[in-house]
Structure 1
Amino acid sequence: MGCALSGPGVTPEPTFDVEKRGSFVEGGLDLSKETECGENPEWLSLLESQKALIRESWKILHKDIARVGVIVFIRLFETHPECKDVFFLFRDIDDLQQLKMSKELQAHGLRVMSFIEKSVARLDQEDKLEQLAFELGRNHFRYKAPPKYYEYVGAQFIQAVQPILKEHWTPEVEKAWQSLFEYLAATMRRGFSTEEKTAGTGKSLSSRKACAESTPNKN
């Protein structure tokens, strides 16, 4: 997501009772199996009532999706200006008013909102939701967008949508969105780590091959 999903005062990832984990995911995931990067998968800790709150609030936000995307990133750059370094298209624009009019920023904001929309649509399909966030994390390694930025967008999204949702925003709605973004950020970090390890292995193999080819054959 570019400078994608933590925020000021990053909320620590929730810890779950192992005996209760099965209740968090319909269909369940086998805790004995490891992911491809050698870590247990994250768990989407959302009750059905929380999923309903997210869906209902998203219906309202979707009506103004382009503006929400711009607001999120303007807030992000105000609170974490170092994030702009990830975006070569507009990292040299210091005037936030000018940045609001940037076509590139608007387009990126829409891409992030599209990711959120796809995530909301997959709340009952955790395997597909996990794949979506995991692949985005892998892509962010290629974009050179460090994992420390991922939760920032989630925090700024929550701050940005409160005045839009008005009376529809409640502590329960906030908790539901926080849980979703914590899950997405953790899964993206896992995807980033996997791609980082893959790239490191590839470089190591290439180096060894180059070294072998450059070594004179003594026979």
Structure 2
Amino acid sequence: MGFTEKQEALVKESWEVLKQDIPRFSLLFFSLILEIAPAAKNMFSFLRDSDEIPQNNPKLKAQSSCCQGFQDEKTCESAIQLREKGEVIVTDTTLKYLGAVHVKSGVIDPHFEVVKEALLRTVKEAMGEEKWSEDTKGAWGEAYDQLSSAIKAEMNTTTTIAS
């Protein structure tokens, strides 16, 4: 059936809400990752050597705004591409960078599920109970799944080339 116009609209609408307070939702996003998978702390260079709780970590605050905004924007772009083209196409430069960064950090498939859960919970928090729906969850989930599939494919390419 493909990604529907309604799904694209749901992602765009919630992205507009998230953009209004990227620092707050970025911190929430990383806090959720660490809540779901505490060992993930060692995968982030800006968290590795810190005992600070996420809310008090100045490095996390600085890094999370950049990373979360990028993550959400790419997921939102994925939704638009799914609707327009039926697939996610990430520019070669961006995809190569994302693949290399994820390989270098030791990211494996289960990590993508942790990030997906944190992303969905962050969007839900941003939207509030009254605007959050299973349709919104499904739209973000599908867009994220397509983006992560493209990153995983590039990771495989990066790993193969390095071997």
Q: 1:80 to 1:181 in 2, by over 3 A?
A: same
2:59 corresponds to 1:104: yes
What CA distance in whole angstroms lies between the structure 1 residues aligned with 2:88 and 2:63?
Answer: 21
Measured after TM superposition, the shift of residue 122 of structure 1 is 5.2
**How far apart, CA to CA, are the structure 2 residues paired with 1:164 and 1:131?**
26
Q: 1:193 is matched with which residue?
A: 156
Structure 2 equivalent of residue 81 of structure 1: 38
Give the TM-score normalised by the residue count of structure 2: 0.81
How far apart in 1 are the matches of 2:113 and 2:149? 9
Note the aligned Cα RMSD (angstroms).
2.3
2:12 is matched by which residue type in structure 1? Answer: R
Q: Report % sequence identity.
A: 24
Is 1:124–2:80 an aligned residue pair?
Answer: yes
Give the SS at the match of 1:130.
Answer: coil
Q: Which residue in the other structure is 1:113 paired with?
A: 69
**SS of structure 2 residue aligned to 1:168:** coil
Deviation at 1:95, TM superposition (A): 4.0
Which of the two has greater helix per residue? Answer: 2
How far, CA to CA, are the matches of 2:77 and 2:147 in structure 1? 14
1:150 and 2:112 aligned? yes
Report the CA distance between 1:169 and its aligned residue. 0.8
Going from structure 1 to structure 2, the CA distance change for 1:123 and 1:176 (only over 3 Å counts) comes to: closer
Note the 1:1-219 alignment, pairs <5 A.
24=2, 46-96=3-53, 99-110=54-65, 111-121=67-77, 123-125=79-81, 129-132=88-91, 134-135=95-96, 136-166=98-128, 167-200=130-163
Task: Name the count of aligned residue pairs.
Answer: 155
Larger radius of gyration: 1
**Cα pair 2:28 2:122 within 8 Å, conserved:** yes
CA–CA separation in structure 2 for the residues paired with 1:112 and 1:104: 14
User: Structure 2 stretches of 5 or more lacking a match?
Assistant: none
- Deviation digits for residues 62-83 of structure 1 (CA, Å, limit 9, x no counterpart): 1011111111111111120111
- Aligned mates of 1:81, 1:90 — CA distance in 2: 11
Letter in 2 for 1:109: S
Structure 1 distance, partners of 2:145, 2:109, is 12
- 8 Å contact kept, 1:70–1:105: yes
TM-score (norm 1): 0.62
